[in-house]
Chains A and B, each alone.
Chain A
């Protein structure tokens, strides 16, 4: 193959780092969800890349399960954002005070 395994893994590392930056810095709840999506996608990219180069079909199967579970997670996350928006009229996570321990 033209591309080596390490290229895909480096792209996945970059995506992971950008996602962590998004979660750490952004205060907008929807933008934090963007960061979570990027991290999940970098994990999926790793799974499929290793499954191509080993080669084995189990990595792809696990990636399919992971994509489906991520869809469920995003649905619940967006519902939580809508509920919090309705309570606080804002999506800034610094305003979600009553969730503080």
Chain B
């Protein structure tokens, strides 16, 4: 049986995910997305994975959500509140969402995962750090290179070529 912390976290996560997609203003939407990501971090804490939870908080809530907020602020004001969408397409999307939830949900409830439970203690997070520096160190280096190259690529993409020495050409 689920406990109350789990229930509160799931209501927070799912509710703010819906709010993030449906609220008119993109700024409030990104704040709701921040709440969703924090809710997932709470789930990680419930799953005895404090290392992943802190990583989630620092990377997602700390950097990605702030990046999204800054991008929203760069966009013209009326576009932030603008909400153009097809009514029929929206109903089709809701039907697709409900079908996905019910379909995958019934499959999972019917599967053998229901009886899966554990009494063993959680994985020690110190072991994850050790693994990162020993077995996974080549993958860690490759990941660092991917991150660096993608950030450089993002900066190159977003660069304005018509701005020279702080003065606009246009």
Contact = CB atoms under 8 A, between A and B. Distances in A.
Given A3-B3, A5-B113, A76 B150 contact: yes
Interface in A1-52: 1-11, 13-22, 24-28, 30-31, 33-35, 37-38, 41, 44-45, 48-49, 51-52
Q: Looking at chain A, what size class is its interface with the partner chain?
A: 35 or more
A3 B2 contact: yes
Given A21-B93, A53-B118, A65-B143, A30 B158 contact: no
B59 A13 contact: no
Contacts of B158: 79, 82-83
A60 B123 contact: yes
A29 B94 CA distance: 19
B interface: dominant SS: helix
Interface string A48-84: 1101111111001101110111111111101111110
A21 B96 contact: yes
Given A41-B36, A82-B74, A71 B96 contact: no
B100 A16 contact: yes
Given A5-B117, A68-B59, A11 B52 contact: no
B49 A75 contact: no
Contact of B100 (A8, A17, A52, A72): A17
Contacts of B75: 30, 85, 91
Interface in B43-81: 43-44, 46-49, 51-52, 55-56, 59-60, 63-64, 67-68, 71-72, 74-76, 79
Contacts of A65: 139, 143
Interface in B93-108: 93-94, 96-98, 100-101, 104-105, 108
A34 to B, nearest CB: 5
Contact of A48 (B47, B113, B155): B47
B6 A2 contact: yes
Contacts of B168: none
B146 A72 contact: yes
A97 interface: no
